[in-house]
Amino acid sequence: MLVNLNNGTEMNVFKITALSLVIATSAGSLSAMAAETSQITVKGAVFPSACSISVDGTADFGNLKKNELKEKPKEQNAYHLGYKPINFNIHCNSAAKVALSAQADTPPTGPSTIGITSYISDTEKTLQSLPAQLASLALIDGEDIGYFTVALASVALDGKNAELIFSQDNGGSWQAVSGPRTHVMYQDGSVFHGWGKDTTPQEASDISGVITISAAVYPEIVDKMNDAIRFDTGTTLSLHYL
């Protein structure tokens, strides 16, 4: 049973926004009178550095036995699989301000009726059930068998520990990660997760950190299973230049 998190893959995401064409027309677009003007919008950005991201390993929850899961006490009506830490590294040609977002390979099919225990460390954890922060482990007959969460546990900038921050408006403003709940990343790509000081993003050439993957499954799926249930999914981490 594997949860792949961009295993050993580097993503070079330096880009300049492509040329876009906007043609202005009147409300009566079928009118015989054609518009006499049109506008070409040209957008782009040139960054001082190119960065790449790599992830070390996979979140492998191993071969889980039905009886072993059933022997564990249920939490929030779920069988919890624990968590796995994943190391990541971002290398930039020169110091740059960047942030991360996550996009689940398989989003939840609907609201969750179980709570996911999301671990930041052995001692820090929080219960999560917000769909935007969940990813489906797999589907059986079109329904989720369970979910996993992704938490940004810690980050170091050029070897020095940094404060964690997040932005819900594409980097326009930032908030401090102030507790276990705000460590959990959104997996719908809607939130930037970053690092800095006093809610201000900081630049660095080498950024290293730890992401924790936590997972849980629906008890009724396990209780009724006759065949092995396998999951092999993931989430995509994207770099954003600030």
Chain-centroid distance, C-alpha 82:
18
Mean pLDDT computed over 45-74: 81
Higher pLDDT pick, 94 / 14 = 94
Does residue 56 belong to any structural domain of this protein?
yes
Q: Is the pLDDT of residue 4 over 60?
A: no
Chain-centroid distance, C-alpha 144:
18
Are residues 180 and 126 in contact, defined by beta-carbon separation less than 8 angstroms?
yes
Does residue 24 belong to any structural domain of this protein?
no
CA dihedral 83, 234, 170, 152 (to 10 degrees): 20
Mean pLDDT computed over 36-42: 74
Mean pLDDT computed over 166-184: 96
Residues of the domain holding 65: 2-12+51-241
DSSP code, position 154? E
Does residue 101 belong to any structural domain of this protein?
yes
pLDDT of residue 224: 83
First to last CA, the chain: 36
> For residue 96, what is the domain's CATH number?
2.60.40.1090
Per the structure block, which two tokens stand in for 159? 């070897």
Q: What does the alpha-carbon distance between residue 187 and residue 178 come to, in Å, rounded to a whole number?
A: 19
Are residues 86 and 60 in contact, defined by beta-carbon separation less than 8 angstroms?
no
pLDDT tens digits for range 25-36: 334 444 555 678
Q: What does the alpha-carbon distance between residue 149 and residue 146 come to, in Å, rounded to a whole number?
A: 11
- Containing H/E element for 223? helix 219-224
Does residue 25 belong to any structural domain of this protein?
no
pLDDT tens digits for range 130-163: 999 999 999 988 999 999 999 999 999 999 999 9
Are residues 52 and 241 in contact, defined by beta-carbon separation less than 8 angstroms?
no
- Supply the mean pLDDT for the chain: 83
Does residue 26 belong to any structural domain of this protein?
no
pLDDT of residue 32: 56
Does residue 36 belong to any structural domain of this protein?
no
Q: Worst-scoring range by mean pLDDT, 50-64, 69-83, 225-239?
A: 69-83
Q: Is the pLDDT of residue 45 over 70?
A: no
Number of structural domains (the chain) is 1
Does residue 95 belong to any structural domain of this protein?
yes
Q: List phi, psi (to 5°) of 9.
A: -105, 135
Q: List phi, psi (to 5°) of 8.
A: 60, 20
Does residue 202 belong to any structural domain of this protein?
yes
Are residues 196 and 202 in contact, defined by beta-carbon separation less than 8 angstroms?
yes
